[in-house]
């Protein structure tokens, strides 16, 4: 080893940069993307802290009178209160908890399915490939929202049903991409070399090919996560998603009739319709979806070696 290293020491050696460190450098240069990453991390941190009950808890508690408008008197009144006098700010934070956990759990289900089915189909080909392609074509033929509604209803509503439904419907795109990449990579020289060194099928799939295509999982993840958050809000709005939890969808559903109710607001020294719960839930959702949108584009630019 030492002798080999010595023999090339005279030549100019540029340290090789891996795909990941290269991508990280490019991502870091994109200030907007870094900002969006920070926004997503902030939502995740808020969700985690709310989960442990360290902030914004308990959200079920009455903190003032019903439909109190925003005021700076206390932190929990900054976004006003809902029809039971609960803090809208606390509910928005817990809504982030619901949205983030649905996004994460759905991805934990769909990513392994997508990778496993796509990888094995592309790698082995033959009847297994036909079967997998048939399966994902079929799943993709049922309009997403209908399949989501049907699975959630059949599993009996609620968070678990919604996560399983989202996981079971959102793996198709990843499986398609993985299949294509594995078909391309399986006959490349490095894989043939690994085979001649005695690497078995699973070693070739997971140790040799997968690290070379895993960036597609990351790109897919940000888009899928955003889709899951949007779907969570719609399903909860329809009443078959989160039950008894302050989801943004439930909040929007509660808030849609509040706009026709007018209350006195000292800041204006006049009356105002009750808009704060609707505004809180929709803007919380807007910022995280916007950040994920921009981050998804930036990740694709940074990680896809074809766009350099």
Partner 1 sequence: MTVYLLRKLLGTIPTIFGVALIVFLLFHVVGGDPTYQMLGKYATAEQVAELRHQLGFDQPLHRQFVGFLREIVTFDFGESYATKQKVSRMILDGIVPSLSLTLPAFFLTTLIAVVIGLLVAYFRGRWIDRVTVLLCVLGMSVPVLAYILFGQYFLAYRLQLFPIAGYDPEWPERLVYLALPILISVMVSVGFSVRFYRTALIEETSQDYVRTARAKGLSEPRIYLKHVLKNSLVPIVTNVVMDLPLLVLGAFLLEKFFGIPGLGGITINAVHDSDFQVIKAMTIFQSFLFILGNVLTDVAYTLVDPRVSFDGR
Binding site residues, partner 1, CB under 8 A: 134-135, 137-139, 141-143, 145-147, 149-151, 153-155, 230, 233-234, 237-240, 249, 252, 256, 259-260, 278, 282, 285-286, 289-290, 293-294, 297
Smallest gap from Cβ 62 to partner 1, in A, equals 26
Smallest gap from Cβ 283 to partner 1, in A, equals 8
Give 36 or 119: the residue with its C-beta nearer to partner 1.
36
Give 134 or 267: the residue with its C-beta nearer to partner 1.
134
Give 113 or 194: the residue with its C-beta nearer to partner 1.
113
Give 233 or 302: the residue with its C-beta nearer to partner 1.
233
Give 181 or 232: the residue with its C-beta nearer to partner 1.
232
CA distance 183 to 176: 11
Smallest gap from Cβ 238 to partner 1, in A, equals 6
Smallest gap from Cβ 198 to partner 1, in A, equals 38
| Nearest alpha carbon to residue 229 among 94, 106, 59, 89 | 106
Smallest gap from Cβ 217 to partner 1, in A, equals 23
Smallest gap from Cβ 164 to partner 1, in A, equals 10
Give 43 or 237: the residue with its C-beta nearer to partner 1.
237
Q: What angle do CA 118, 24, 32 make, to 5 degrees?
A: 105
Smallest gap from Cβ 279 to partner 1, in A, equals 9
Give 77 or 281: the residue with its C-beta nearer to partner 1.
281
């Amino acid at each position: 080893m030492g002798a080999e290293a010595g023999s090339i020491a005279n030549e100019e050696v540029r340290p090789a940069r891996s795909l990941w460190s290269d991508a990280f450098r490019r991502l870091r240069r994109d200030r907007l993307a870094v900002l969006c990453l920070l926004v997503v991390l902030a939502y995740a941190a808020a969700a985690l802290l709310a989960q442990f009950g360290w902030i914004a808890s308990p959200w079920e508690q009455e903190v003032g009178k019903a439909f109190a408008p925003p005021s700076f008197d206390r932190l929990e009144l900054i976004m006003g209160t809902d029809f039971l006098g609960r803090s809208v700010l606390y509910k928005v934070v817990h809504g982030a908890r619901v949205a983030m956990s649905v996004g994460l759990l759905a991805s934990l289900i769909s990513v392994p399915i997508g990778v496993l089915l796509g990888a094995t189909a592309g790698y082995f080909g033959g009847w297994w490939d036909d079967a997998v392609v048939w399966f994902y074509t079929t799943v993709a033929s049922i309009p997403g929202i209908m399949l989501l509604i049907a699975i959630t209803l059949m599993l009996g509503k609620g968070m678990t049903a919604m996560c399983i439904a989202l996981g079971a419907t959102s793996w198709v795109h990843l499986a398609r991409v993985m299949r294509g990449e594995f078909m391309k990579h399986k006959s490349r020289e490095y894989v043939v070399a690994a085979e001649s060194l005695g690497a078995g099928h699973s070693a070739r799939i997971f140790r040799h090919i997968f690290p070379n295509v895993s960036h597609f999982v990351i790109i897919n993840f940000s888009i899928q996560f955003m889709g899951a958050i949007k779907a969570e809000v719609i399903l909860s709005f329809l009443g078959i998603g989160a039950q008894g939890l302050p989801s943004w969808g439930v909040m929007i559903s509660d808030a849609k009739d509040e706009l026709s109710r007018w209350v006195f607001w000292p800041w204006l020294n006049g009356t105002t319709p009750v808009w704060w719960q609707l505004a809180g839930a929709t803007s919380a959702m807007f910022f995280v979806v916007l950040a994920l949108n921009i981050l998804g584009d930036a990740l694709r630019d940074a990680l896809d070696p074809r766009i350099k």
